[in-house]
Structures are given as structure tokens and as C-alpha cells.
Amino acid sequence: MNNSEPLEVVSDLVDIAGRLTSTTVVVAGGERVEDLKLVEAAQDHGIIDRIILVGNKQKIAQSIEATGITIDPKDIVHAEDDDHTAAATVELIENNVVDIVLKGNISTPVINRYMLPMAMRTTVSLASIFDAAPIANGRPMILTDAGVTTVCNFGRLTDLITNAVDVAQVVMGIERPRVALLSANEKQIPSLASTWLGLELAERTWENAVVCGPLSFDLATDPGSVEIKGMPELPNAAEVAGRADILVCPGIDSANILYKAIASMAKYGEASIAGITIGFPVPYIILSRSDPMETRLQSIALCSIYASRKSERKKTAPGPAPVPTEAENILTLKPDDKTVKGAVYSNELCIFEFEAARKSGIETGQLTDLIPEIKKELERNGVSSLKAVAGTMNITEDFSGIEQNRLYLIPDAMESADLPPMLKLLSGLSKNYSALAYFSVDEGAPFTGPHAYSLLNAAGPPRYRLGNLSNP
């Protein structure tokens, strides 16, 4: 049951956060006067009780003098440059010292590079809570993702929904949020990906949300438009149309445009907005220097509420489900043009590794030349069945004689530099696989088997869980 206090207007975030347990914030690059004024205001409202500044100690001292804020000397962490600032910030997070990270005077790509390996979810995303007088009669809603997720395929959109639903439940007190997947049309248009992605996501089973799509913006937010145009023939339309709590944009471009439009209304007192980046161990705030103080303070309040309530829920949450003890064997393969490196894992333990030379003239993605040898390796080591096969090639037919409950397809190279170094879910590659996934392989690592067992168990960390992505 969700006991979170319902959110009536976005400005209430500041009052709500002030009544909850105060939190600790670290400012990565805490050298700017405007950032110190912001955290001081949050401290005055009872939102935060401890401020840690990481950055150039001399510049921090100058800004402290200019603002008159009181900072405990032990809470000033000197760092020579952005890389050292980011590393020190991550260390504070890893040691459970802070509840919130505020990006200050530091390069966004630099701090993100240090933060991403800490990601606890398959997608890190920005959720923005807003209210705007001309939209949905001014009631608070969530918009995602206006600033983080650049590639919105099926798997990513699934994660955006999951992350936004989490924020709606924890911060807004909405037990089962109504989610609208936005598009330009409610009908299926082959050339408009958002229309068929929206429908596929709406047809999926969601335990904690009511999802409908594709919906145009007016049909998602305005009951009057629904009355005029009629109820669209879409899954869950009767519950979501005109009443959406969460707006999921089909891409960062449309989300960012809508966000900037709302931010422009805020300058004229017609809207309020606050943002939280979730997916890390603690909430992460990335603000624009052009954001007004109200938006900046509300964002800190939003993150503090989320951190405080999440902390309370962890204290009362039941323990993790027991991990299955039955052995589940996973074969992992990583070919190149000269060799194939492989390993077999029994549950989480590697039971043997091997490397075999390739025949000349064989494409990297084909294993025909080595299938007999790989099968002999399995037999030699007493492996008679496999729970899953992970590789960079189509191995359905190659291993058709071996029992498989799932098959994982893993491409050789990462296509985006912003991916965490563990598992990422992928969709849309093929309808021939019961589940799809890919890994990022650290430099020098021959294969990615150590975390394969986690893929198969709901008791594993959330970032490793897989569903049937191709047929939700």
C-alpha cells in the first residue's frame, strides 16, 4: 500500500520535503555562488541538513565567503580537476555518505562517465514533475525523458515507464499511475515508429500502472478533446485518455521541446517544474543555469522526498527471495576473426574456460567450424544441458541439439558511449528469440559470463532481470 502524501501542486514539494527526514547533498563542483545559494535555501527550508562540497578548495572558499553560508571544513573535499571531483563524488556515494548528488561546476560528460558504472537500473532517466495551468487543469504530471535517454527503442521505453511509475508512486502518492505513450496519431502508421511501439507497450502486462498508447497530447491530457474526438480504440483508453498521470514522449527531442515549453510558462507564473534523474544509488540532479530558483529548489525537494521515502521503505521491506540452488549452466562465447573464447558458468561460478582457433575464411559471426569442438568441450566437462547460450551470433541452429530455455543474443560492439558496463536490455533485433540482451565487455575481458546467472533469477538485482521482450 502506498502511504505517500498526495501531491496537489509542484510547489508543495518544498513543504513536504521540509517535514520529512533531512538529507545530505554533495555538490560535485561546489565552486559556484549560485549553487551555494541554492543548497543554503534548501537547508533553510529543512530539506537538507548537511552540505558536502567537492572541487577546488580555494574557489570553494571564495564562494563561501561571497555567500556567507556556513560549511563544516570537513565537508569540503579538495579536487584538482573534473576527473578528481567526479571520482571523489562517486566515492562518497559508494560509502553511503550522501543521499543526493547535485551537479555543480563540472563537465556533464565527465561526471556522467564516473556515475554510469554505478547505475542500478538498466536505464537511467530524467523524470520531470510539472503543473501548468493550460494543461490538464493544472494538476501535477510527470514528463519523461527530456534530457538523458537519446535512443528510445522498446526496451528503453519500457524502462522509462518503470522509472516514472516509481517516482509517481513514491513522490506523488499515486498507487497505479495512468501512463500515456505520446505520438502524433492513435492509428498504426508503419513509417511512424512511435505508433506501433506505443501499442506494443500498451498491450504488455503492467502490474503497477495502466498504460495506453499511442495517444496524441490532447487525448492524453484533455477530457474535452476525448469528448469531441471520441474514445480511441486502444488498450486501457477508457482509464488513461484525458486523465494521464505520466507522459512518455517517443524521443528526447519531443520531450525536450515540451519541457522547454513548460519551463517558458514557468517564467510567467503559469507553470512549475522539478526534475529527478533516477537509476543510480541516489537521486541525481542536473540543472540548467538558466532555471529559476523555484525550479532548482523544487528539484532538490523532489530528490530529497524520493531519497527519504525510499530509505524508509528499505527499512520495512521484506528480505530478498531465496536464490534457486539448482544448477543452471550458461555457455558464453566471444568470437573474433582468429579465435573463439568461451566459458561455462554453473549458476554464478565459472566451471571451465576454453579458447579455440578459427579456420581461415570464416566470418566472425559464424561458429559452424567450431561447433563440434565446443560440444566436445561441454561433454568433456560433464555439461549435458544449458539454461542459456550467450553469444554474438545466431546460434539457434548451431546448438539445436542442446536443451535451452532461453537464448541471449549479444552484439560485439556497443553503439552508445553512455551505456553502463553491465547488462542492458535490447529489443527489436529479432522475433526469433524468446529474450534478448546485450552486455558491455570491459577492456580485456574475454566474455561476459559472470553475471549471466543473474539474468535467469528474479531474485537477482533489478538491472539483470529479463522478461520476454519480443513478445511482452
| pLDDT for res 116 | 87
Q: For the structural domain made of 7-120+280-317, what CATH number should be given?
A: 3.40.50.10950
Helix, strand, coil content of the chain in percent (nearest 5): 35, 20, 45
Q: Give mean pLDDT, residues 110-121.
A: 89
**pLDDT-based confidence at 12, cuts 50/70/90?**
very high
Q: How far are the Cα atoms of 36, 65, 173 from residue 103, in angstroms, in the given order?
A: 12, 21, 27
Position 115 pLDDT exceeds 70: yes
Angle between helices 33-44 and 293-316 (to 10 degrees): 50
The helix/strand/coil state of 90 is helix
The helix/strand/coil state of 21 is coil
Of 213, 279, 278, which is closest to residue 250 (Cα–Cα)?
Answer: 213
CATH class, range 124-275: alpha beta
Q: Are 128 and 166 within 8 A, CB to CB?
A: no
The helix/strand/coil state of 261 is helix
Q: For the structural domain made of 329-464, what CATH number should be given?
A: 3.30.420
Strand partners, 284: 101, 277
Q: Are 129 and 166 within 8 A, CB to CB?
A: no
- Tracing cell 510539472 back to the chain, one arrives at 130
CA 21 – CA 307 distance, rounded (Å): 9
pLDDT tens across 124-150, in order? 999 999 999 999 999 999 999 999 988
Q: Give mean pLDDT, residues 209-232.
A: 96
Of 89, 34, 103, which is closest to residue 287 (Cα–Cα)?
Answer: 103
CA 206 – CA 46 distance, rounded (Å): 37
pLDDT tens across 38-66, in order? 999 999 999 999 999 999 999 999 999 99
The structural domains of the chain, with segments of one domain joined by +, span 7-120+280-317, 124-275, 329-464
Q: Are 282 and 101 within 8 A, CB to CB?
A: yes
What is the residue type of 333? L
